[in-house]
Amino acid sequence: MMYLLGVLLMLVGISASIALHELGHLLPAKKFGVKCTQYMVGFGPTLWSRRKGDTEYGVKAIPLGGYVRMIGMFPPLPGQGDRLRPSSTGRFSQLADQARAESAEEILPGDEDRVFYKLPVWKRVVIMLGGPVTNLVIATVLLTGIITVYGIPEYTSKVSTVSACAPADPAATSCEGQPPSPALAAGLEEGDVITAVDGQAVQGWGETSYAIQNATSPATITVDRDGTTRELTVQLTTVDRPLLRPDGTPQLDEAGQPVLGQVSFLGASGSVEYIPQPVSDAPTYVGTALVETGKIFLALPEKMVGVWQAAFGGDDRDETGPISVVGVGRVAGEVTAGGLGALTGTFAAKMVLLLNLLASLNIALFVFNMIPLLPLDGGHVAGALWEGLKRTVARVFGRPDPGPVDIAKALPLAYTVAMVFIGMTVLLVYADLVNPIRLGG
């Protein structure tokens, strides 16, 4: 039941993000006088619609996007008015001419000055940026709220669990025949806060783990128990485990794999606590999210090869790789079902992770839509800016106004890009069904 709740909540969040994205296009378009005939959330069959004024508002069956239909997206050819060029014989030319014709058919008598292409360049840029910028604003609001109100998760030196035994194999699930863990034998208890190891002060579980790994037996563990400082003498054992850096992160070899070695073992785990951050840190977190998402998109061809190999070759999925809306739903289900251990230990923690996932999705929508290729918003922005540059150059050098850029000529490229995106979506959905990313292990 909790798994299903996560899926449903994420579906609502995705739908709301799409609706607000399209609203980011619709509001400035109406403000600038463009006639908008449709505002739709989703694709496919229409589930519900209602007309108000010039605009039909509706919801469609497939929540994988949306659109705002504005009249006059494609300008007519110079000197042709609304008529088609009679010499359109090539397939690509026919595609462009058909788009111009369909665009012209939407323009009714009296609508000639309510078309998109007649707007100044800056107004067209504002309209097309309205959608992705709305997603960025959503992500910024969510991330700012998360880090300032709830905080970010940090592993503290407060003991959450004490192991019953010290197994030689870290994957062992039974303590039968195993000696008790050093932590249990020394009397370490859940709720103890480790403040020092052999007199060396530690903060956070990373520093604590590193200090314990490099301690010699017997070690003195200083703890704060209910406000009282206690020193425990611990007979540490030696086991094979990944070697840690001073900050608690694992050392990696040239292949990126953890380096194993003989280290001292205590047998306890730290706690996850959420530490609120100042609001001044919000731009840093948003900027980091933008950069990391941008890196994923730049590496998308390589990542998609990995997805293909995972889908058809049985390779493990890359947890940092792309996922479809199906994958997002599965991750949301894992979160609400408590599949991430201490990170999902409370209802509040689950909701925060869901909001963080939704913020990441909105960051991805922003970055994706800013790609300067049609039919994406970034492609329309690039076309408008190119037109502005051409007109500026013509004005500076006293040349005739070149008129609107004929973006209909780019439709063959737009169709190609759309087919590539559809193919990627199908592959990701299939991979998320047969070999999904499981954050819970």
The model's pLDDT over 43-56, given as tens digits with 9 standing for 90+, comes to: 889 999 999 998 99
Of the residues 275, 302, 334, the one at which a domain ends: 275
Residues contacting 113, CB < 8 A, separation 6+:
33
- Indicate the burial class of 127 (C-beta count within 10 angstroms; 0-12, 13-18, 19 or more): buried
Looking at the fold, whether 192 and 308 belong to one and the same domain comes out as no
Q: Which of 8-22, 77-91, 232-246, 248-262 has the lowest mean pLDDT?
A: 77-91
Which one, of 348, 357, 178, 197, lies nearest residue 266 by Cα? 197
pLDDT in tens, 182-226: 888 888 889 889 999 988 999 988 999 999 989 888 889 999 999
Over 50: is that where the pLDDT of 82 sits? no
Output the domain CATH number for residue 213: 2.30.42.10
Over 80: is that where the pLDDT of 92 sits? no
Over 60: is that where the pLDDT of 99 sits? no
The letter for the amino acid at 366 is F
- 40 φ, ψ to 5°? -125, 135
Residue 437 · residue 323 · CB < 8 Å: yes
Quote the pLDDT of residue 353.
87
- For residue 436, whether the previous peptide bond is cis, meaning omega lies within 30 degrees of 0, is no
Q: Which of 215-224, 402-411, 427-436 has the lowest mean pLDDT?
A: 402-411
- Does residue 374 belong to any structural domain of this protein? yes
Cα 348 from Cα 356, distance rounded (Å): 12
Looking at the fold, whether 166 and 179 belong to one and the same domain comes out as yes
Looking at the fold, whether 144 and 288 belong to one and the same domain comes out as yes
Greater confidence (91 vs 70) lies with 70
Looking at the fold, whether 222 and 248 belong to one and the same domain comes out as yes
Looking at the fold, whether 172 and 291 belong to one and the same domain comes out as no
pLDDT in tens, 261-282: 888 888 888 888 888 999 999 9
CB-facing half-sphere around the CA of 230: CA atoms within 13 A: 15
Which one, of 134, 135, 66, 130, lies nearest residue 358 by Cα? 135
Q: Which domain holds residue 392?
A: 131-151+278-441
Looking at the fold, whether 263 and 377 belong to one and the same domain comes out as no
- Does residue 285 belong to any structural domain of this protein? yes
> Which of 29-38, 344-353, 395-404 is most confident?
29-38
Q: How many CB atoms lie within 10 A of CB 117?
A: 22
Quote the pLDDT of residue 83.
44
Looking at the fold, whether 171 and 265 belong to one and the same domain comes out as yes
Looking at the fold, whether 286 and 432 belong to one and the same domain comes out as yes
**Catalytic machinery residues:** 22
Token readout for 254 is: 């040239």
Residues contacting 213, CB < 8 A, separation 6+:
241, 243, 244, 263, 264
**pLDDT level of residue 84 (50, 70, 90 thresholds):** very low
Residues contacting 300, CB < 8 A, separation 6+:
322
Looking at the fold, whether 234 and 315 belong to one and the same domain comes out as no
Q: How many CB atoms lie within 10 A of CB 226?
A: 9
Q: How many domains does the chain have?
A: 2
pLDDT in tens, 325-371: 888 888 888 888 876 666 666 788 888 889 999 999 999 999 999 99
- Does residue 53 belong to any structural domain of this protein? no
Over 70: is that where the pLDDT of 406 sits? yes
The distance in angstroms from the start CA to the end CA of the chain is: 20
Average pLDDT, the chain: 85
- Does residue 48 belong to any structural domain of this protein? no
- Does residue 399 belong to any structural domain of this protein? yes
Looking at the fold, whether 410 and 282 belong to one and the same domain comes out as yes
- Does residue 244 belong to any structural domain of this protein? yes
Of the residues 235, 256, 275, the one at which a domain ends: 275
- Does residue 84 belong to any structural domain of this protein? no
Q: Which of 126-140, 177-191, 288-302, 420-434 has the lowest mean pLDDT?
A: 177-191
Quote the pLDDT of residue 89.
40
Q: Which of 104-113, 136-145, 218-227, 380-389 has the lowest mean pLDDT?
A: 104-113
Residue 127 · residue 143 · CB < 8 Å: no
Element (H, E) at 98: helix 91-105
Quote the pLDDT of residue 441.
52
Token readout for 215 is: 């301690």
Of the residues 246, 275, 304, the one at which a domain ends: 275
Cα 273 from Cα 150, distance rounded (Å): 10
The letter for the amino acid at 256 is G
Cα 297 from Cα 292, distance rounded (Å): 9
Looking at the fold, whether 429 and 327 belong to one and the same domain comes out as yes
Looking at the fold, whether 239 and 307 belong to one and the same domain comes out as no
Quote the pLDDT of residue 369.
93
Token readout for 347 is: 């209802």
- Does residue 169 belong to any structural domain of this protein? yes
